Structure 1
Amino acid sequence: MPFTLDKGWLSPARHCESPHQDERPAGDISLLVVHCISLPPGRFGDNYIDDLFLGRLDANAHPYFEGIHQLRVSAHCLIRRDGELVQYVPFHRRAWHAGLSCFDGRERCNDFSIGIELEGTDTGDYTDAQYRQLAKMTRALMQAYPAITPERITGHSDIAPGRKTDPGPGFDWKRFRAML
């Protein structure tokens, strides 16, 4: 099924709108940032990522959550291990995914980027379903936002070096770029 984009929302993604977003400053959307996340670290398949991005993570559900439940973070989309696509923030709005960041001399990457999370760890590998979904979605985004070119697709580790390591060495950039 091909992707369609309506008012910043991608179909057929599952939509769960995050309160952790705001208006973008004027300008092109010109960067795609690949991240990874698992909550608690190394565990997959729970709804804790949704809970974090929706601002409802229970600090008592796991000891790790005591230190992160108050964070106000989000991403535009998450691709789960089985390839399920979840969208939290419409693309024309700013998701809070990059933090302190810089790409090609330009700071505040949230202002001009789309953030895609892969359910995973920065020390592990990703699934075939995730690569297929990421490539399909990236092609749709590149069509909708022509300023996003293959050279303007990067990892969180590249825009926040020394601070972030995701998506990590297990992410096969060569494979992903060949799928585009």
Structure 2
Amino acid sequence: MSPNIKIRHLPTDQFEDRPKGIEIDTLIIHSMHNPEAKNRFSALSCKECLDKHGVSSHYLIDLSGTAWQLIPENKKAWHAGISTMPEDGREGVNAFSIGIELIGSEDTDFTEAQYQALALLTKDILSRHSIQYIYGHYDIAPGRKTDPWGLDWLRYREDVLRSCAYADLRFSPTAAT
């Protein structure tokens, strides 16, 4: 792990083995909160919400910018659901992706600390995997999903590409506008 990103662990059992021979080449960015919890923006309440619904993500990034790892990257999380890659039509995106949840809601902005942590975590993941695509949940499940809500894709893209050379990295089409 990169010394620049602080990652804490909050394990879940909501995962399975990845199919053999599948290379991780995609990051999917999500957003969530736990509307039923007293503290709907805490990492623990969000993890409990994911567990309750039988879904998961590899990472959560809380409002303070702390990245929480729920599942090892070599395991298949259940974050994408029914999904198709817009670039090549591959289905079942969970099999070849890493999911990152940004804690927030439809009516709140992500924090400066979250943007910094997201860029650092992304660079950290890029150092271990041949990531080609970074998409939002809505890119792979259009009409079904609307997250990540309010993510500034241009800023995120610039933060990731600053001081790095990832010429073949494709971001959500939203990042181009």
TM-score, normalisation: structure 1: 0.80
**Corresponding position of 2:2:** 2
Q: Does 1:88 align with 2:70?
A: yes
Residue of structure 1 in register with 2:80 after alignment: 98
Please give the per-residue CA displacement for 1:12-40, whole angstroms capped at 9, x wherever unaligned: 41112211100001211000000000011
Segments of 5+ residues of structure 1 without an aligned counterpart are: 5-10, 56-68
Rounded to whole Å, the distance in 1 between the matches of 2:112 and 2:95 is 30
**How far apart are residue 47 of structure 1 and its match?**
2.6
Distance 1:123 1:141 in 2: 29
Render the CA deviation track for 1:41-87: whole Å, top value 9, x for unaligned: 7942363112234x3xxxxxxxxxxxxx3x21110000001101111
Q: Structure 2: give runs of 5+ residues left out of the alignment.
A: 161-177
Check if 1:173 corresponds to 2:157.
no
1:47 maps to 2:29: no
Q: Contact between 1:121 and 1:166, CA under 8 Å: does it hold in 2?
A: no
CA distance 1:127–1:32, change in 2 (3 Å): same
**Separation in 1 of the partners of 2:16 and 2:82?**
17
Separation (CA, whole Å) in 2 of partners of 1:46 and 1:114: 18
Match in the other structure for 1:60: none
* Number of equivalences: 155
Query: Quick check: 1:76–1:90 contact (8 Å CA) kept in 2?
Result: yes
SS in 1 for 2:116: helix
Asked if 1:124 is matched to 2:108, the reply is: yes
Contact preservation (8 Å) 1:75, 1:115: yes
In the aligned structure 2, how far is the partner of 1:163 from the partner of 1:101? 9
Q: Does 1:14 align with 2:8?
A: yes
Which amino acid letter does the alignment assign opposite residue 111 of structure 1?
Answer: A
The CA RMSD over aligned residues, in Å, is 2.0
C-alpha spacing 1:51/1:43, structure 2 compared with 1 (3 Å): closer
Partner Cα distance (2:90, 2:43) in 1: 35
Match of 1:113 in 2: 97
Three-state SS of the structure 2 residue aligned to 1:154 is: strand
Q: Write out per-residue CA displacement over residues 78-120 of structure 1, whole angstroms, 9 at most, x where no aligned residue.
A: 0001101111010010000000001120000000000000001
- Separation in 2, partners of 1:33, 1:123: 21
Match of 1:7 in 2: none
